[in-house]
């Protein structure tokens, strides 16, 4: 499907003005929050589509890429499935699906966890390491789809969203 031409207006700004009209009397922060959260959600859609397109030649999605890189950076190239879910902050069902797909592609293999008789390890294969390394080169070259922002802006975005994640209990403050 060919990409749609850009709109002649910012739909989020327009929605914000309509929000102000339909919810008069709210604090200005409410209107700013509505615009900010809608912008974050749209940016997520844009970035995920761009990242998945960059990774398509490798036969992986961004969520599969994250799992490969996590395994690549682990001490032995392997992690328990439960630890993958914890580190990627996703549900166990999502981890199972990602590892199933990576295993089918020959990028990881499952092994019994020698430290937990009931657990399973995901183990990075040589092919998985090669795919993760090559894909990382492409993502680095494209600045992970964030080339529209300079380094200072990227750090500012990270700091702002990090604060949001901290307050939500996403992690414990250092």
pLDDT in tens, 41-90: 999 999 999 999 999 999 999 999 999 999 999 999 999 999 999 999 99
| Angstrom distance (rounded) from CA 32 to CA 34 | 5
| Angstrom distance (rounded) from CA 89 to CA 84 | 8
What pTM did the predictor assign?
A: 0.88
Residues 82 and 122 in one domain: yes
- Quick one: average pLDDT of 125-136? 98
Residues 71 and 107 in one domain: yes
Residues 149 and 63 in one domain: yes
Q: Does a structural domain hold residue 163? A: no
Helix (H, G, I), strand (E, B) or coil at 120: strand
Q: What is the pLDDT of residue 36?
A: 95
- Quick one: average pLDDT of 88-100? 94
Cα–Cα distances (Å) from 1 to 4, 11, 43, 58, in that order, read: 9, 22, 20, 21
pLDDT, tens only, 6-15: 999 999 999 9
- Confirm if 108 and 128 have CB atoms less than 8 A apart: yes
């Amino acid at each position: 499907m060919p990409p749609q031409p850009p709109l002649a207006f910012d739909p989020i700004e327009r929605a914000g003005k309509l929000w102000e009209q339909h919810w008069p009397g709210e604090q200005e922060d409410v209107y700013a929050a509505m615009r900010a959260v809608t912008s974050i959600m749209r940016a997520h859609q844009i970035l995920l589509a761009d990242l998945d397109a960059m990774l398509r030649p490798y036969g992986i999605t961004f969520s599969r890429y994250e799992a490969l890189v996590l395994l690549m950076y682990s001490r032995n190239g392997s992690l328990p499935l439960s630890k993958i879910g914890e580190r990627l902050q996703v549900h166990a069902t999502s981890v199972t699906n990602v590892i199933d797909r990576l295993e089918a592609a020959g990028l990881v293999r499952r092994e019994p966890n020698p430290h937990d008789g009931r657990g399973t390890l995901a183990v990075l294969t040589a092919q998985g390491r090669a795919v993760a390394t090559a894909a990382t080169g492409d993502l680095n070259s494209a600045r992970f789809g964030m080339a529209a922002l300079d380094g200072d802006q990227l750090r500012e975005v990270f700091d702002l969203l990090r604060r949001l994640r901290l307050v939500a209990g996403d992690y414990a403050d250092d």
